[in-house]
Each structure stands twice: as C-alpha cells, then as structure tokens.
Amino acid sequence: MQSSEPILVTSPLLPNMQEFNQYLQQIWDSRWLTNNGSMHQKLEHALTKYLGVEYISLFTNGTLPLITALQALGLTKGEVITTPYSFVATTHSIWWNGLTPVFVDIDPVTGNLDPSKIESAITTNTVAIMPVHVYGQPCNNEQIDSIAKKHNLKVIYDAAHAFGVRKDGESILNWGDISTLSFHATKVYGTIEGGALICHSAEMKYQIDNLKNFGFRGETTIVAPGINGKMDEVRAAFGLLNLKQVDAAIEARHKVSTQYRQAIDKIDGLHYLSEYPNIRYNYGYFPIFVDEEKYGMSRDALYEKLKAHNIFGRRYFYPLISTLNPYKDYPSANSNNLPIATKMANQVLCLPMHHMLSNDDVEKIINSLTDN
Ligand SMILES: Cc1ncc(COP(=O)(O)O)c(C=O)c1O
C-alpha cells in the first residue's frame, strides 16, 4: 500500500521567506554579492558564538575545507589514515592533494575510525589522520590525539555531520588541528550549499582565508596556489536565518529519534547506535543495522519494501569508499583489512530523519518495519 506523499530521507531547513526577502533586499541595496561581505562577516561571527569555537572560515561547500585543511597544514606528500565508512568527499580530499589514503577499520559501537587499529597502519610516510564523526557520533579524540602526538601527525576531523555536537558541554569542533563542516541542504543546518573550517589561531585563519581566495594576500600578492572556496552573500543570509531555527529543528529530530528507538527496541534483528548521556547530539541521521537472519529480511529487501510503501531511506554509507573504483586497488582497501566497516556498510539503512516528519509519518515508517 502506497502512502499518499513520499516520505523522504531528509528535508532542507528553509528560512522564513519574508525574512529572507528582507535580507535579499539588503544585499541588493549594498550591491555586494561575495568576497567577505557583511552577511558573510555576520554569519562567521554568529557561528563562532553558536558553535563555541574561536576561528571559523566559511566555504562554498563541505569538500573544499577538507582539501584546504590539508593544504594549510602543508601536507603535500605521504599517507593519510582515514575511515572507509564515510561519504566519498573525505577520501577525495586526500586524493586531490596528491596524498595517499590509507583505510583503517572502524569501531562497531560508534562506526568511527578504531583508534586501536591506527598504529599498525602508521608508516614512515604517514603525515596525518583524517577521522570522521560519522552520523555526528564523536570520535575517540583522546586516543587519536595521543597517537598523533606520539607519531608527530596532524589530525583533521571531517565533522560534516557534527554541527552543534558537544561533549561534556564543549564543542567537538575544537578537536584536532582542524575540523570541517558541511552546510549542504541535506544536513541539520544548511546554507543550500556551504561549509566551514574551524582552526585554532588567527594566523591559521588568515592563511585559510587567503587559500580560499585563490591564495590572494592583498591585491597583488599570491602566497600559494589557492582555490575559490568563498561563500557568497545570499547563502550567508540564508545561513543567518537558519541559525535562528536550528535548535528547534534539532529538538524535532530528537523526538523522532526517541520514537524510532522505542519502536526498534521491540524488533528482533534491527539495532541502532548507542547514545551517550554526556553528548549533545544533533540527530542528523537515524541509521539502523539489519541482521538478516534474525530480522528475516536483508537490508536491501527492507530498503525496497520501504520504497514500495513510498518511504525513501538511504544506504549511507554503502558502498564503502574502499570498494569504489578510484580506491579499490589500494592495499588497505582489501576487505580483509576492513571487516567491521564491510559488515556495517552491508547492514546499514538510514531511516527518514528530519524536522518536518509528522507523528503519522513516523508511525507509517515504524509500521512498515514491523509488518513482515
Ligand atoms: C562525511 C562528509 N564529508 C564531507 C562531505 C562533503 O560536503 P559537501 O557535500 O558540502 O561538499 C559530506 C557531504 O555530504 C559528508 O557527509
């Protein structure tokens, strides 16, 4: 039986249109569309306050800050240890810098890079670790940082999923040398396309702001072969307005997450990731893992069944990055090296999760999980 409206995996956070029109009018009046305009400056300031970070640089998307982070840290050759259980942009950013990704397996409890497996992957060529806070679940930064310190490695956290996530009241975006965010429309907080880089000193921010503007320092000096990663005024205005409603959106997602958890607790063969009381989550995703034998249906069969009910989940993160054409021949991509990631990728299905889901929607989704 098809429900009338399709239930999609995500829905963008949209500003109030009247308020957006007022901001557009201001942009029109100023005739200043990009290059560190006033909306851009206001959003950077507002985000440092909201996120609890000191230095942030806005970008056109969440991929360019990853690429720029490696550039800013001067990493031009060598190996970067990373997780295969992420969106392709994580590994692509390593490749785009001429560096070699080295895949390390993940922890089954969090889905994040397993720190106990990092050291055996370190060689004399290793220059950095690029973990991902997958689904916004914080990595084990204490262990990762101590390994990095011991081996003199840089740490760049891909925090694309971790907008607003805090541990013990502190922003996890302050971890490592650099953290990056994505503000893509599918994320908890969005600027249509957009992203940001968080660093820890005014000098580093200055360097990054140069790098995202072709390497310009002043009008005529180019300090490095930078890129064009600048966020424009219209997206910054969109972001300013979305910041006012992101907490309400997170709270609506929290409610959905609680409903899902209560229902899935009663279903044999499905499980979800644990939550920890000292973490402030953003509820960006709701991944479930399907044990085919106990549930009586494979992940793919469930995915198709939900589609037949007009419910569109997504298999994030399947296939594993290490199985994709550009990376499958790297020695570390061998599935024997990545048993946990391989299993999770084959079992995962992200259920619809966004601030617009109604109680009826959630009920329909839960009923579709149980009416085998
Ligand atoms: C983990 C991760 N890293 C990086 C990105 C890239 O972000 P963007 O799509 O904004 O370029 C994404 C995007 O979805 C992501 O999920």
Atom of ligand 1 nearest to the CA of 89: 4
How high is the mean pLDDT of the chain? Answer: 97
Q: Is 263 exposed, middle or buried (0-12, 13-18, 19+ CB in 10 A)?
A: middle
Q: Which residues contact 118 (CB under 8 A, 6 or more apart)?
A: 81, 104, 129, 144, 147
Q: Show Cβ contacts of residue 357 under 8 Å, excluding neighbours closer than 6 positions.
A: 7, 11, 252, 256
Per-residue pLDDT tens digits for 196-226: 999 999 999 999 999 999 999 999 999 999 9
Q: Which residues have a Cβ under 8 Å from the Cβ of 308 and sit 6 or more positions away?
A: 2
Whole-number Å distance, alpha carbon 298 to ligand 1 midpoint, is 27
Nearest CA to ligand 1 atom 4: 89
Residue 371's pLDDT band, with cuts at 50, 70 and 90, is confident
For residues 32-39, give the mean pLDDT. 98
Distance 69 CA to ligand 1 centre (A): 14
Kindly give the number of the ligand 1 atom that is closest to the alpha carbon of 63: 11
Q: Which residues line ligand 1 (CB under 6 A)?
A: 61-63, 86-87, 89-90, 132, 158, 160-161, 182, 184, 195
For residue 189, how far is its CA from the centre of ligand 1 (angstroms)? 13
Q: Which secondary-structure segment (H or E) carries 220?
A: none
Write the DSSP string, 252-288: HHHHHHHHHHHHHTTSTTEEE----TTEE-----EEE
Q: Is the pLDDT of residue 2 over 90?
A: no
Ligand 1 centroid to Cα of residue 320, in Å, is: 15
d(CA 182, CA 190): 8
The span from the first CA to the last CA of the chain, in angstroms, equals 13
Return the closest-CA partner of residue 358 out of 252, 235, 267. Answer: 252
Give, for ligand 1, the residue of 63, 112, 130, 197 to mutate: max count of ligand atoms closer than 8 Å to Cβ. Answer: 63
* Ligand 1 pocket mutation pick from 58, 64, 184 by most atoms within 8 angstroms of CB: 184
Partners of 155 in beta bridges: 129
Q: Which atom of ligand 1 is nearest to the CA of 134?
A: 1
Q: Contact, 64 vs 93, CB < 8 A? A: no
Quick one: pLDDT band at residue 3, thresholds 50, 70, 90? Answer: very low
- CA dihedral sign, ordered 196, 112, 119, 169: positive
Q: What is the pLDDT of residues 157-199, one digit of tens each?
A: 999 999 999 999 999 999 999 999 999 999 999 999 999 999 9
Distance 56 CA to ligand 1 centre (A): 17
70, 83, 87, 197, best to mutate for ligand 1 pocket (most atoms within 8 Å of CB): 87
Q: Ligand 1 mean position to 338 CA, how many Å? A: 22
Tell me the three-class secondary structure of 284-335, residue by residue: CCEEEEECHHHHCCCHHHHHHHHHHCCECCECCCCCCHHHCCCCCCCHHHCH
| % pLDDT > 70, the chain | 99
Q: Tell me, what's the pLDDT at 5? A: 87
Q: Which atom of ligand 1 is nearest to the CA of 93?
A: 4
Closest CA to 284 of 306, 314, 264: 314
Centre of ligand 1 to C-alpha 80, Å, is: 18
Do 211 and 226 touch, CB atoms closer than 8 A? yes
Give every CB contact of residue 159 below 8 A, 6+ residues apart in sequence: 132, 133, 165, 172, 173, 179, 180, 181, 198
Nearest CA to ligand 1 atom 8: 62
Atom of ligand 1 nearest to the CA of 194: 10
